[in-house]
Structure 1
Amino acid sequence: MRKQDLLPRQFQVGCARLYQMIIAPTLAALQPTPRVQTLEFASIAEFLDACTTTTATMLAYEARRSFALTLGGLFERQLWIWSRAHFTADDKQGMEKQTFFPLLQATARKHRISLHWFGIGEDIRELYLVANAVRHGDGSSIAELRLKAGHLWPSMTDRQAEQCDAMGIWSEAIQIADVDLGRYVEAVCRFWGLADREQGAMIDPLLESVYRH
């Protein structure tokens, strides 16, 4: 057994524990609430309560975007480490110039991992696009997400869409649902489970079931 053969299990455990110990408890503590619709309030106290609710919801979605960024960055780093451990010297010269998606596909082909299994390839692609949009703001990632992942803006009104277009703030308006974060975690854990060829490998690690509800 070579050390690099244990990397997939190490990476899978790292992603699963990140979800179990940090992401899931925080999601439970920071639950978004429905948007305050009224602009008229009966008292200052009512106005301040509405402000508190609004800012708490903004924080909840900011946390979810931050977790997507963290998970996407973690998986990308893991993928680079694993690829460098297995590619030949000649392969590495061309690999260093690859962007994330070609690297993911090349690595999956080399290790006979099906990115179509349970749609993990599409889920990982969505995660990476979200992470890229959260990090850099509006750009090509947002353009693709708007075409393929409209669920990331579940309550977008026409007026809000016009504002996002005018100010270039679609990335700020992303509202990641807990089920989507769970789907991203499940996809990267399944990827490493499929990559793990050692005895006792698990494709689906024991994750908390918060994201299934």
Structure 2
Amino acid sequence: MSSNTDQLPRVFQANLARLFDRIILPGLDALAVHPRLERGEAATLDAFLDRAAAQVDNYTANEAAKAYVLTLAAMFERQLSVWARARQTEGRGHFSRIRGFEALLTACADQAGIDLQRDRLGSDLSQMFLVANVVRHGDGRSCEALRAAAPELWETDAPDYLDLLPGEAVVSEHLRMRRRDLIRYIRAATCFWGLADRLPMAVADPPYRED
């Protein structure tokens, strides 16, 4: 007979999937995004206003994607904490002295017998959390760590993005989050709980793929 703790991974996986499928994906798809932004002097006022509107569209879409990563990371971290406490209450682990996301992720993976090296699982989850920290705090240690680990998330001369902040460029403001990044993160998070699920018919290969 399974315990309540044994049911948690499946509930967590379903909750993440519902959030992504019902809120995040429709939200992203509803936003106007332009593949290229026109630059230089506009010939007419209407052309100038159209260019400005496109710049705002793309900036807003990027901000929305970053906010969605923050939401995903917060939910996943909270789930790890709930699972760890439940395991400890049942005498199936000791988590009380663990501090920080990386330590908690590693401890939970060890308890569940999950190889974080599998299919970039650990690196994608760690990256998701670093992105969330950058979204929360801007420039700082997390931003430096993320740039070192994933420089591809920055593109200085991107043809489809223009920072709207005046003055000197702020590094964290040029972090780009795209649909494919969110898909990587939701796949990693739902895969983690699928691998932790010991009940029959567990889904260890969730149906999220980069386009």
* Pairing of 1:109-188 with structure 2 (within 5 A): 109-154=110-155, 156-157=156-157, 167=168, 169-188=170-189
**Aligned-partner SS, 1:113:** coil
Which digits, 9 at most, give the CA deviation of each residue in 1:110-148, with x for residues without a partner? 221111111110000000000011011111111111112
The answer to whether the 8 Å contact 1:35/1:54 transfers is no
Unaligned stretches of 5+ residues in structure 2: none
Counterpart AA for 1:139: G
Which digits, 9 at most, give the CA deviation of each residue in 1:55-93, with x for residues without a partner? 011100000000000000010000000001002579343
CA distance in 2, matches of 1:168, 1:47: 23
CA distance in 1, matches of 2:88, 2:58: 45
Unaligned stretches of 5+ residues in structure 1: none
Q: Report the alpha carbon displacement of residue 38 of structure 1 after superposing the two structures with TM.
A: 2.3
CA distance in 1, matches of 2:120, 2:32: 27
The structure whose residues are more often helix, as a share, is 1
CA distance in 2, matches of 1:104, 1:72: 12
Counterpart AA for 2:210: R
CA distance in 1, matches of 2:32, 2:80: 31
Name the counterpart of 2:210.
212
Name the counterpart of 1:83.
84
Counterpart AA for 2:190: C
Counterpart AA for 1:13: A
- CA spacing shift, 1:135–1:191, aligned 2, 3 Å: same
Q: TM-score, normalised by structure 2?
A: 0.88
Q: Report the alpha carbon displacement of residue 35 of structure 1 after superposing the two structures with TM.
A: 4.8
CA distance in 2, matches of 1:56, 1:64: 12
CA distance in 2, matches of 1:125, 1:32: 28
Name the Cα RMSD after superposition: 2.2
Counting aligned pairs with the same residue, the percent is 39
Name the counterpart of 2:192.
191
Q: Report the alpha carbon displacement of residue 200 of structure 1 after superposing the two structures with TM.
A: 1.3
The alignment covers a number of residue pairs equal to: 202
Q: TM-score, normalised by structure 1?
A: 0.87
1:94 to 93, 97, 100: 97
Q: Report the alpha carbon displacement of residue 153 of structure 1 after superposing the two structures with TM.
A: 1.3
